[in-house]
Every structure is written in C-alpha cells, then in structure tokens.
Amino acid sequence: MSVEGLSINFATVRQGGTFGGIVDACLRHGVTAISPWREHVGQVGIAEAARIVRANGMRVTGHCRGGFFPAPDEAGRRAAIDDNRRAVDEAAMLGAACLVMVVGGLPAGSRDLPGARAMVADGMAELLPHARAAGVPLAIEPLHPAYAADRACINTLKQSLDLCDKLGDGVGVAVDVYHVWWDPELEAQIARAGRDGRILAHHICDWLVPTTDPLHDRGMMGDGVIDLKAFRASIEAAGFGGPQEVEIFSHKWGARPVDEVIRTCVERYRTVC
C-alpha cells in the first residue's frame, strides 16, 4: 500500500546503508518519495542514483544540500559556488523538486553576522542563473537560531522570504517544523510564503522536552511539543500540497533498525501529522 504524501529524508535512516538500500527500505513500507543527501549520491555516483530513482518511480522531494556560502576568503567563497553548481546539476539529474539550501554560518574566526548574511545573499545571487537554467528551484531553509553561528545565518521564515523577494524567481523556502515552530510570526509568514508561491518543501519531526543534544536529538512526530496538525493545516491553507518529508537527526533513532524507523514514521504520519 502506497503512503501518499509522505517522504523520507535520508538523514532519518542513515543506518539504512546505500542509496539503493534506503530506497528499497522505503518501498517495503509503501513510501515512494525520498530526499537524499549528497553523501549518498556520492557513494554510488549520480548516474546510478538517478537510475535507481527512475527505475523505482521515486518522487524526489528535495536534494540535500547546497549552501555554506560564507568563507574567510574569496577562494573559499568561489569554491562554495562551484560546489553548489555541482549540487544543482545533481538535483536536476535526480529530478528533485528543489535543492535544499543550508546557507552556512559565520566564516571561521568571524563575529560578523551581517557580513555572513551578505555573503549568503551574494552567493545565492551568483548561483541562481545556473539553477534557473537547470530548472532546479533553490529552497532556502531557515535554520533554528541555535545554528546561526555554525550552520545557517538565515534563521527565520521572514528573513528567508525577504531574501527571496530580493532574488526573484527560482527561489523559495523549505519549511522545517523543527526550525520555525517557535516563531511568533510563523502563521503570517507561512501565509506570505504561500501567496508568493515560495513553499518548495515541508519537513517534519518534533521538538523534544528536554532536548539533550543541540544537533542530534530531534524527535519522532508525536513525541514532542510541536502542534503538527495545526502546522500542516497552515501550510496546506497556504497552498502547499506536496509531501511532508520526515527529517530526523537523532542518535536514538539512528541506532534502531531502519524498518522500525520507517514503520514508525508511517504510523505517526497517519496519526499525529
């Protein structure tokens, strides 16, 4: 039985092995949409990854990830752009709905957050023509403010949409409940994102209380405090009809058998999302 509307991000099932192994695991549970990471693509090569996607009729809700634009020097920033172009090309070959952009934080040794944000805007602007030509929308993912220093200096939906406004066509947002659930302006900004046609992806998981690890303690849907049904209602009211993509970075879930993890995702998707 196919599970319509659910996508599994490979970060949720890193223990599932290779690109093909994870696809097989998803299919065993009726999941036909995925979001791979570049490391999984790198292991088998992009041609083989794309073949697996096509052969199994998988829907690719996003390719993870581009971004990490800020760097201490011009050479580093150029290298980041070049690498992002390759990520765009991979996303195109996979037929991904978007390339997810984790934009990067402060360059090493820097305390200049506005400067880092300017590097992100510049990097996005430079990458965008290539992405447009390849037909790959760039999905800026605002990351939780806890990651502002080391992963992404774009930290709210409003900030992401303001950047989209500056950049124009071919760019939107990936809305991950974990990163934005706390935002007092969440509803207004989701509505705005919908009006502007900017919602490219929707990631789900849960916020645990307490959270014991800043990076790897995301919760399975239903185990935390995010009102997932209300969130889904907002995002669907804003016009987003794509799959909900489960992305759980968790030492706990990473230690469990891949079939148990995907079975739990399916069950929770049906009951609490």
**Which residues of this chain interact with a second copy, rule CB under 8 A?**
106, 110-113, 117, 144-146, 148-150, 153, 155-156, 158-159, 181-184, 207, 209-214, 224-227
In terms of CB distance, is 22 or 226 closer to a second copy? 226
Rounded to the nearest whole angstrom, what is the least distance from the CB of residue 246 to a second copy in the complex? 18
DSSP state of 181: T
Pick the closer one to a second copy by CB: 213 or 259. 213
- Name residue 66's beta-bridge partners: 101
What is the pairing mode between strands 199-204 and 244-246? Answer: parallel
**Separation CA 30–CA 33 (nearest Å):** 9
The residue (of 87 and 235) whose beta carbon lies closer to a second copy is 235
CB count within 10 Å of CB 213 equals 12
CB of 146 to a second copy, least distance (A): 5
> Helix H segments across the chain?
19-28, 38-44, 46-55, 74-94, 113-134, 157-167, 177-180, 186-195, 228-237, 251-254, 258-272
Q: Which is nearer to a second copy, 61 or 155 (by Cβ)?
A: 155
| Closer CB to a second copy, 19 or 147, in the complex | 147
Nearest distance in Å: CB 258, a second copy: 28
Q: What distance in Å separates the CA atoms of residue 243 and residue 255, rounded to the nearest whole number?
A: 26
- Residue 224 Cβ, how far from a second copy at the closest point, in Å? 8
CA-CA distance, 122 to 132, in Å (whole number)?
Answer: 16
DSSP letter string, 141-156:
-PPPGGGTTTTBS--S
Of 62 and 224, CB closest to a second copy: 224
- How many CB atoms lie under 10 A from the CB of residue 207? 18
Whole-number minimum distance, CB 225 to a second copy, in Å?
Answer: 5
CB of 37 to a second copy, least distance (A): 21
